[in-house]
A and B are shown apart, each in its own frame.
Chain A
Amino acid sequence: MSANGSAILNVDEAVVKFWVDRERTITAVNGVSLHIAAGETLGLVGESGCGKSTLGRAILRLVELYSGSVSFLGKGIGSLARSDLRRLRRDLAVVFQDPRGSLDPRMRVGDIVAEPLRVHRLASGAELDRRVSSLLEQVGLGAEYAKRRPTELSGGQQQRVGIARALVTKPRLVILDEPVSALDVSVQAQVINLLQGLQRELGAAFLFIAHNLAVVRHLSDRVAVMYLGEIVEEGSSHGLFARPRHPYTRGLVASVLRPDLEAPARLEEVARLTPGEVPSMLDPPTGCKYHTRCLYVQDICRIERPLLEEVATTSGHRVACHFWKSIPDPIPIARAR
């Protein structure tokens, strides 16, 4: 899917750097490009330190880009004046990871959900109340929750409020940063179902950032895998998980322990596929960032960073590896039934 015509979000070679102390910087995002078309969900996965959350923040312009560009609805976010940026935020919403922390403990739920409408002057009075109530119903809470305070709600309920707040202005793109990680499994399932339903109803595009692959599988049309600030593989949710090409993706997919009886036997193989740990961002590897852990490393991997290339034309499945063609095909690990 290389045509960007209908893309509402275009990220082009984004780089984000942070100061660690006076002299050192880390490059949290190192030349990432991606696009999201209207109405589709892109899942962004990776482990700790891969930069996915930072990328999300950069798209929201909560952190500044060092270089590269982000354009949303055709407008470059980096160059917008403050007031234009604020107007754009009507169409760009976010749901955060920490359900408790992302809601102002002093406000009532109704006011929290209504705030975007007030700030952008989209509704007031009875119309505002109506929209807030209808949204609270849509996320599975009742309209009567409007009077409650966040501290009275459970984690799952708080997260629903966060989702309602994000959707109240009918945004074109919603960024969800680990929206279910902090929830219990049984509550996670409820919120996943809710999000699936909302995806169908609303037609908005979603950027879904998570480290839990199975959750991402359920909510994404396409998936991009990040490692130490770079995208190493991207493709359709089905294709990528059924047949991952990048050694890291393979290890990642294999590491998802399936609750079945083959798990102990596969543990050996899994642990073998991804030896070592993610290197520190302060001292990243040269060339292909994954080369320090890769079973198929060659000299060129240490020197030259591989670029994303298509696995098959128009498949939309791209991988950044010098030797993806010659890596023996593993037994398919995750096949949709």
Chain B
Amino acid sequence: MSAPTIAGPPPAPALAGVEGPPGTGRWVLWFWVALLGVFLVAAFTGDLLAPYDPFDQAPVDRLSPPMTVTERGLHIFGTDPLGRDSFSNIILGTRLTLLVGLLATAIGTVVGTLIGAAAGYYGGWVDRIGMRLAEAQTAMPMFLVAILLLSLLGPSVINLVVVLPTLIWPTFARIIRAETLRLRSTAFIEAAQALGCTGWTIMRRHLIPNLAGRIGVLVVVSVGHVMLAEAGLSFLGVGVQPPDITWGLLISLGRQYLAVAWWLTIIPGLFLGLVVLSINMIGRHFERNLGAAG
């Protein structure tokens, strides 16, 4: 029989610890930020960085493995079925991959946050409609729906940017709504109401800044999802179409040559994984050190 303890919880004073678990120190953070930075630079200056014109076909050198030297020079990552330099392809693909990924995430974030905040703050029919929409979306296998939509609308970058946010906004809406409900009953929101702020002002000035931390963490995770989704859609042929390049597209095109030219698929895939990983690691670092705000 367990020994009874004295009635009442002994209050333990807060102990502030500064160290976190391994892998989240400052050095690690800078590493991932640098890595991401490299990719961002490549996105902006791809044209200049690419050693070769990616459209320069040289059938003679087709499917050369990495580190092959041809008469044009060194191909670090080999060449594709038409003899184009893989490295250049990858660099140029960075721009669209990141653009589509980040833009779609941004749209999904804004839409999801607004719907979630409005649902949580106003309640009533706003809440019901917003949440039904989110639930309906979640109930559907969104990836398949995305494929369907893109097939109907026609695959293009713009359609991709419109369809991709649908994958992530319900998560935002749900979480932001829950956080809004929590914050809505705090005294400072009541104080803002009492001094005459409109609902919109309260959301803009008080609610969302206090949720910034939470939103940030969600964004980080969502970017990864979106990028991988784009890669998948392009892989399936309903995403980006040539001559636009994304890593997903490269992976798709290299698929059939997997047995003979693994580098065409594996290397872009590796880069995609690295970008998503670095974003996730950066996000994890901030999540650990979030503290009381948000």
Contacts and interface: CB of A to CB of B under 8 A. Distances in A.
Nearest to B291: A151
A4 interface: no
Interface of B: 186-188, 190-198, 201, 205-206, 209-210, 212, 292-293
Contact of B190 (A62, A92, A93, A107): A62
Most buried by A among B195, B205, B293: B195
Interface of A: 60, 62, 85-87, 89-90, 92-94, 96-98, 101-107, 115-116, 119-120, 151, 162, 165, 169
Contacts of B193: 62
Given A104-B210, A105-B293, A106-B209, A87 B196 contact: yes
Contacts of A85: 196
Contacts of B191: 94, 96, 102-103, 162, 165
Contacts of A116: 195-196
A16 B197 CA distance: 24
Nearest to B189: A104
A102 B188 contact: yes
30 contacts: A60-B194, A62-B193, A86-B198, A89-B194, A89-B196, A90-B196, A93-B195, A94-B194, A94-B195, A96-B191, A97-B187, A102-B187, A102-B188, A102-B191, A103-B191, A104-B192, A104-B206, A104-B209, A105-B210, A105-B292, A105-B293, A106-B206, A106-B293, A107-B209, A115-B192, A115-B205, A116-B195, A119-B195, A119-B201, A165-B195
A120 B190 CA distance: 17
Nearest to B190: A62
A62 B209 contact: no
Given A96-B191, A165-B191, 8 more contacts: A89-B196, A93-B194, A101-B188, A102-B187, A103-B191, A104-B209, A104-B210, A106-B293
Contact of A89 (B187, B190, B195, B209): B195
Contact of A96 (B187, B209, B292): B187
A195 B163 CA distance: 58
B200 to A, nearest CB: 12
Contacts of B197: 115, 119
Contacts of A90: 196
Contacts of B186: 101
A104 B197 CA distance: 14
A98 B209 contact: no
Find the residue from B193, B194, B197, B210 having the highest chain A CB count within 10 A: B194
Contacts of A115: 192, 195, 197, 205
Contacts of B205: 115
Interface centre among B193, B196, B198, B210, by most A CB within 10 Å? B196
Nearest to A116: B195
A188 B212 CA distance: 35
A111 B193 CA distance: 16
Nearest to B211: A106
A119 B210 contact: no
A101 B187 contact: yes
Contacts of A105: 188, 210, 292-293
Nearest to A171: B195
B196 A119 contact: yes
Contacts of B190: 62, 96, 102
Nearest to A100: B187
A87 B196 CA distance: 7
A216 B186 CA distance: 25
A107 B188 CA distance: 11
A102 B195 CA distance: 12
A204 B190 CA distance: 22
Nearest to A99: B187
Nearest to A149: B293
A97 B206 CA distance: 19
B201 A104 contact: no
Q: Which interface residue of A60, A90, A92, A104 has the most chain B CB atoms within 10 A?
A: A104
Contact of B194 (A62, A97, A103, A106): A62
A96 B185 CA distance: 13
B210 A106 contact: yes
- The 5 A-B residue pairs with the shortest CB-CB distance in the complex, in nearest-first order: A89-B196, A102-B187, A101-B187, A86-B196, A116-B195
Contacts of B201: 119
A323 to B, nearest CB: 41
Nearest to A82: B198
Contacts of A119: 195-197, 201
B50 to A, nearest CB: 44
Contacts of B292: 105, 151
Contacts of A98: 187
A328 B190 CA distance: 46
